[in-house]
Amino acid sequence: MFMSLCFGRARFTCSAGLLTAHHLTPGSGSVSWSASEFKTSTPWFFSAWQSCLLTPQRRQFAQKWIWLGGLIALVIALPNILWQIERGWPTWVLLHGIAKSNKNVVLSPWEFFFQQITLMNPVTFPLWFGGLIWLLVSHQGRRYRVIAFTYLIAFTEFVVMHGKNYYLAPAYPMLFVAGGVAFERFFALRLRWLKPATAFLVLVSAVVFAPVVLPILSPEKLPAYMRAIHFEVPRTETSHTAALPQLYADQFGWEEMVRSVARIYASLPANEQNVAAIFCQNYGEAGAIDFFGPKYGLPPALSGHQNYFYWGPGNYTGEIMIVLDDDAADEREQFRSVEDRGMVESSPWAMPWERRLHIFVCRDLKIPLRELWPKVRVWL
């Protein structure tokens, strides 16, 4: 939610600077790149600047304010850019790795479009799509046409890059505003009863869909409710087979997993606890160890997944490691001794692959951990 607000704010200030007062443009640069510090996909929403070339707003490029905004954006982004260069552009490596994997559901342009309708609440489709059409074809909306082109360019970018269906969500507030203006003007002189009728339908649909996007119902009741309203949240990842939408399923099972690891850790002799490392396969598992672990007396987790890789193995040698994995094939190649201490405890509502984890106590790594570390890097 916070990231979506950052994206939306970045898009709004960028478009506002291009459409109205020149002095807002420096603000758009600072807000946009501040948002990019939280989510590196924010620059995709700079399509507002690209779309400016397709409208009369391209004259803004002759003003000093837009270049000042760009300079501010560059200054804010520079540390991140230098970090990316120093480490071989890991964000690009990540995107390239995902594109070559089978991790995400790949959507055709029409599938991506229809899932936008689903995610935005199907009842609101006439409102935001009407706003898009109004911006593109009406005389009154011509001044704000940059917003329509911003949306269309961002839509195309995400389709081509096989982005997840929700990546475009921050683009819709401006289309809803445009649709509201268009509806107000259209129904001002004809079919006035449609205005309260439309508002009523939107409110009713919001109540109906609220349990799908807000934690109102218990996990036991939500699947039955979704079946009753004949609604299914589109999958974004191919491996998602949980009973709950991934938004919720990803929130279950973490503390149970950490408690399982803590029991194994506590069963080790004191001298082994002092040197034992906990290695996780992904940042979700490692993050759970780091978040809940202190309460159970656990050390920080190690992982080769994404940014955890850059934090390195610390002072651990691999003498003894507690490893979370679904099988021990890799561990039996890497360690001289591997003991399966059973499966983790989890929640029936957690993601399936997190419920299949085993806890392996591995001893005597065959090569130094720092020498092995470059091989554990995972970018998916």
What residue ranges do the domains of the chain occupy? 2-205, 254-376
Phi, psi (degrees; rounded to nearest 5) at 230: 55, 50
Q: pLDDT per residue over 82-127, tens digit each? A: 998 998 888 888 877 777 777 888 889 999 999 999 999 999 999 9
Structure tokens at 159: 């389709």
What pLDDT score was predicted for residue 149? 87
Please tell me which residue, 100 or 354, carries the higher pLDDT value.
354
Is the pLDDT at 345 greater than 80? The verdict is yes
Number of H helices, E strands in the chain: 19, 5
**pLDDT the model gives residue 48:** 58
Query: 297-338 pLDDT, tens per residue?
Result: 999 999 999 999 999 999 999 999 999 999 999 999 999 999
- Please state at what angle helix 64-86 crosses helix 25-36, rounded to 10 degrees: 20
Instruction: Give 16 or 349, the one with higher predicted confidence.
Output: 349
pLDDT in tens, 122-166: 999 999 999 999 999 998 888 888 889 889 988 988 888 888 899
CA 23 to each of CA 8, 40, 80, 285: distance values in angstroms, whole numbers, following the listed order:
19, 26, 26, 46
What is the average pLDDT score of the chain? 85
How far apart are alpha carbons 213 and 235 in whole angstroms?
14
